[in-house]
Amino acid sequence: PVVFSARGIHKSYGSTEILKGVDLELRRGEHVAIVGPSGSGKSTFIRCLNLLERPDQGSIALLGEPVFDAEHPGRGMKQRDLRKRVGMVFQSFNLFTTHTALQNVSLAQRRALGRSRVEADERSRDLLTRVGLGGHLGSLPSQLSGGQQQRVAIARALALDPQIMLFDEPTSAIDPEMRNEVLSVMRDLAEKGMTMVVVTHELQFAERAADRMLFLADGEVLESGSPREVLHSP
């Protein structure tokens, strides 16, 4: 079954058309990697998928429910509601710097889902342990490496029990030697059947973990297919 679909997504900044009609359909448990040159619109596209950017044209649906429809603005979903269902991991982690790892993961659940502190903390401990940070619950972001901070951010997103996860260049701001610990958490999620969209420059990761790859150039999908087809096409 189709979990998520985006059709004909257009987006301009001023008079510059950044996205020229991009389509994406995700089946349950599918992992799609979006690759392409810098400036091609990858980040703009993934931000449109959870309405961090508002598309100018096109429509988006999650499990058949309208998320966004440029032709029927009243039919959309509130960004607030969407955020619980579509988890997002950013290049720059976006953690609260004055909060510990545990507090960062708990706060999101208490705010978005209204979970009690006890409930949220318990879930946070489980998730942080699962991403290898059981020994760092009380650490502030500044006491953690980039790879560790990004794993906190992944735990925070997972804590809301999202139906799909979006990753926007999750390892680009991390030292190369720390990237693997993040990629391995992502591979693990993929193996467990999470539906995922990943914008990345890590072609090796994309080739191994993705079922399908979109090659975006100048705001259009130039290639779409298995990683092998896309990476080795002439």
In whole angstroms, how far apart are CA 115 and each of 77, 100, 106, 141? 22, 18, 9, 23
Residues in region 154-183 near ligand ADP by CB under 6 A: 157
Question: Is the torsion defined by CA of 109, 114, 117, 122 positive or negative?
Answer: negative
Is the CB of 87 or the CB of 146 nearer to ligand ADP? 87
Binding ligand ADP by CB under 6 A: which of 55, 87, 146, 170?
A: 87
CB 193 within 8 A of CB 32: no
Contact call for residue 76 and ligand ADP (CB under 6 A)? no
Contact call for residue 88 and ligand ADP (CB under 6 A)? yes
Give the span between the Cα atoms of 3 and 13, in whole angstroms: 29
Is the CB of 72 or the CB of 111 nearer to ligand ADP? 111
Contact call for residue 41 and ligand ADP (CB under 6 A)? yes
Element (H, E) at 130: helix 117-130
Which residue is closest to ligand ADP by CB?
Answer: 43
Give the span between the Cα atoms of 93 and 28, in whole angstroms: 26
Tokens, residue 60: 């988006």
Is the CB of 153 or the CB of 190 nearer to ligand ADP? 153
Tokens, residue 214: 């979109």
Binding ligand ADP by CB under 6 A: which of 3, 52, 63, 217?
A: 52
Binding range to ligand ADP, per CB under 6 A, among 39-47, 58-66, 70-78, 182-190: 39-47
Contact call for residue 104 and ligand ADP (CB under 6 A)? no
Q: Report, in Å, the least distance between residue 228 CB and ligand ADP.
A: 22
Contact call for residue 42 and ligand ADP (CB under 6 A)? yes
In whole angstroms, how far apart are CA 54 and each of 3, 16, 67, 189? 20, 15, 11, 28
The residues of the shown chain that bind ligand ADP, judged by CB under 6 A, are 13, 18, 36, 38-44, 50, 52, 83, 87-88, 94, 111, 157
